[in-house]
Amino acid sequence: MGKSSDNLLQAAITAVRDCADTMETQAESLREALPTMPMDEGLRASALELSAGLKDASGRVMFELALLQAELGEGKADAASAVRRLAGMDAVMMGAVAAMADVADELEKAAELDETYERSFVLVIEATAAMLQGIEKAKAATQALDAAGPAAKRT
């Protein structure tokens, strides 16, 4: 791979890692805050379960990233396989965050009926927005690597 391709690969790996870090941080923040927030117990249970799912997804992505980096370092993976794997990691994170967005929608409806639920809605929507921003950066970096074309795919 050329220097430009190496830079794109490193940028994609960094963006995916940053997104997974953000997910883990937001999941932990939600796990700590949600038990004390005024909200429907069913929604609280769902949000806490999904927060655990966010943490699990971020952990799986970090493991997969470490494995990918080791394989790249040993010459056992190339940019083409890296693109596929990074795109898969992006999809895992998006799936976890999309589920949290559904809870945010439910919390919004609850907050419209009872303003005491507003704090929990704001907490979840801000966390979801931060994670979505990270996913967009990760996807863009992965797509830039993919768009680099055949030169990036040679080893």
Evaluate whether residue 39 is within a structural domain: yes
Question: pLDDT, tens digit, for every residue of 138-152?
Answer: 999 999 999 986 544
Whole-number Cα distances in Å, 68 to 9, 82, 92, 136, 145: 11, 7, 16, 21, 15
Indicate which CATH number applies to the domain containing 103. Answer: 1.20.1440
Evaluate whether residue 153 is within a structural domain: no
Evaluate whether residue 64 is within a structural domain: yes
Evaluate whether residue 14 is within a structural domain: yes
Question: pLDDT, tens digit, for every residue of 29-76?
Answer: 999 999 999 998 999 999 999 999 999 999 999 999 999 999 999 999
Residue 88 has pLDDT above 70, yes or no: yes
Number of domains in the chain: 1
Res 2: pLDDT: 60
Q: Return the half-sphere exposure (C-beta side, CA atoms, 13 A cut-off) of residue 11.
A: 16
Residues ≥6 apart with Cβ < 8 Å to 46? 103, 106
Evaluate whether residue 23 is within a structural domain: yes
Token pair of 61 as six digits: 């992505």
Res 147: pLDDT: 92
For residue 68, give its domain range. Answer: 3-145
Evaluate whether residue 151 is within a structural domain: no
Evaluate whether residue 150 is within a structural domain: no
